[in-house]
């Protein structure tokens, strides 16, 4: 196959690789899973991430988000990628994914290239895990060894996608509960939400904070007034629902610790972000720590995303290796 003609050295800057430890719940996964069966797999994935990022820098956050939304519904099994067909109701139709989840075409391209290189070998679930890592690295964030060997689900759960993925107006207790169900603790929650240092959100997801946060026609008092005024210019009290705003307005395309610095300055875009600083002394201290120490954030983020990637993987003879990520093999 021909790799994208893009300087990977330029797009993937040198960064610190954080060593992480595999949890006992996913002991059959390994960073070296494809070393013999598909040795070029990671290089192929990286090349397509670089190509997609060069065309549209927003795609980095979009591809990272796919991994999150997949793992939080019955584990990291690529169920999110399945289109509706037969008895399958696609998770793409849930409120959390409809009109916002994107990057599926990039996954299709990667899978097509990997099938040409080593047929029926690399799972779609592993592609999502690799793409998440490479998307962060290309934005200047940390890197880590991705544990591999997941297999793909033969079913999806639209109801699970509706119930298990946090929303922009989730309370802190709801966030804690949703993460705990997945085996993720408070430290994981704060670190993983730090991924909102890249990406965008639509006006409709935070409008209430600007105009009627508590039902009294006043803005959210935990939102910096100057920042709120700036947001109001592109997010009026009605209309323009789909207008996009950077989750981190300072360094929107760089994976860094400005997300936490923004929260300290009451400039978090989403309510579900700012509450980390305003509603719990424990999460407030973590936010302040990461705002002051980017390396500590990077190290914890790497640990936490590996832990998230270990949620209920299908291994051994469970599931399958899909030939096309959008549909199960028996649909061919």
Catalytic residues: 69
H or E element that contains 51 = helix 41-55
Do residues 186 and 306 make contact, with C-beta atoms less than 8 angstroms apart?
no
Say if residue 176 carries a ligand binding annotation: no
Do residues 303 and 260 make contact, with C-beta atoms less than 8 angstroms apart?
no
Max intra-chain CA distance, the chain: 63
Say if residue 75 carries a ligand binding annotation: yes
Strands 244-246 and 200-202: antiparallel
For 261, the token pair is 């610095």
Say if residue 152 carries a ligand binding annotation: no
Do residues 149 and 315 make contact, with C-beta atoms less than 8 angstroms apart?
yes
Say if residue 248 carries a ligand binding annotation: yes
Say if residue 91 carries a ligand binding annotation: yes
User: Which residues, in sequence order, are bridge partners of residue 152?
Assistant: 320
Beta strands in 16-112 (DSSP E): 17-18
Say if residue 194 carries a ligand binding annotation: no
Unique residue bearing structure tokens 């009290």: 237
User: Which residues, in sequence order, are bridge partners of residue 201?
Assistant: 245
Say if residue 190 carries a ligand binding annotation: no
Say if residue 256 carries a ligand binding annotation: yes
Say if residue 166 carries a ligand binding annotation: yes
CA atoms within 13 A on the CB side of 203: 15
Say if residue 73 carries a ligand binding annotation: yes
Say if residue 169 carries a ligand binding annotation: no
Characterise 2 by phi-psi region: left (phi > 0), alpha (psi -120 to 50), beta (else): beta
Residue numbering of the annotated binding site for heme b:
196
Residue numbering of the annotated binding site for Ca(2+):
70, 73, 75, 77, 79, 91, 197, 248, 251, 256
Residue numbering of the annotated binding site for substrate:
166
Residue numbering of the annotated binding site:
70, 73, 75, 77, 79, 91, 166, 196-197, 248, 251, 256
């Amino acid at each position: 196959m021909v790799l994208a003609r893009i300087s990977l050295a330029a797009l993937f800057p040198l960064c610190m690789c954080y060593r992480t430890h595999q949890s006992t719940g996913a002991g059959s996964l390994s960073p070296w899973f494809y070393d013999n069966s598909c040795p070029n797999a990671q290089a192929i994935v990286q090349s397509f991430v670089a190509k997609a990022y060069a065309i549209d820098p927003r795609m980095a956050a979009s591809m990272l988000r796919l991994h999150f939304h997949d793992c939080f519904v019955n584990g990291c099994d690529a169920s999110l990628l399945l289109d509706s067909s037969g008895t399958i109701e696609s998770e793409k139709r849930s409120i959390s994914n409809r009109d916002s989840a994107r990057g599926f075409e990039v996954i299709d391209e990667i899978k097509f290239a990997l099938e040409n290189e080593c047929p029926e070998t690399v799972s779609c679930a592993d592609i999502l895990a690799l793409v998440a890592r490479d998307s962060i690295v290309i934005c200047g964030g940390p890197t880590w060894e991705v544990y591999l060997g997941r297999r793909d689900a033969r079913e999806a759960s639209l109801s699970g996608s509706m119930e298990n993925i946090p929303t922009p107006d989730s309370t802190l207790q709801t966030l804690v509960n949703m993460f705990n169900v997945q085996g993720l603790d408070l430290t994981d929650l704060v670190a993983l939400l730090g991924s909102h240092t890249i990406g965008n959100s639509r006006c409709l997801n935070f409008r209430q904070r600007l105009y009627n946060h508590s039902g009294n026609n006043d803005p959210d008092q935990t939102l910096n007034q100057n920042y709120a005024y700036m947001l109001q210019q592109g997010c009026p009290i009605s209309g323009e629902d789909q207008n996009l705003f950077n989750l981190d307005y300072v360094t929107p395309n760089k994976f860094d610790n400005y997300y936490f610095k923004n929260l300290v300055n009451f400039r978090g875009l989403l309510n579900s972000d700012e509450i980390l600083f305003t509603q719990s002394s424990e999460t407030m201290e973590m936010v302040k720590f990461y705002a002051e120490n980017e390396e500590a954030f990077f190290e914890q983020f790497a640990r936490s995303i590996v832990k998230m990637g270990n949620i209920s993987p299908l291994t051994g003879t469970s599931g399958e290796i899909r030939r096309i990520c959008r549909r199960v093999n028996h649909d061919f």
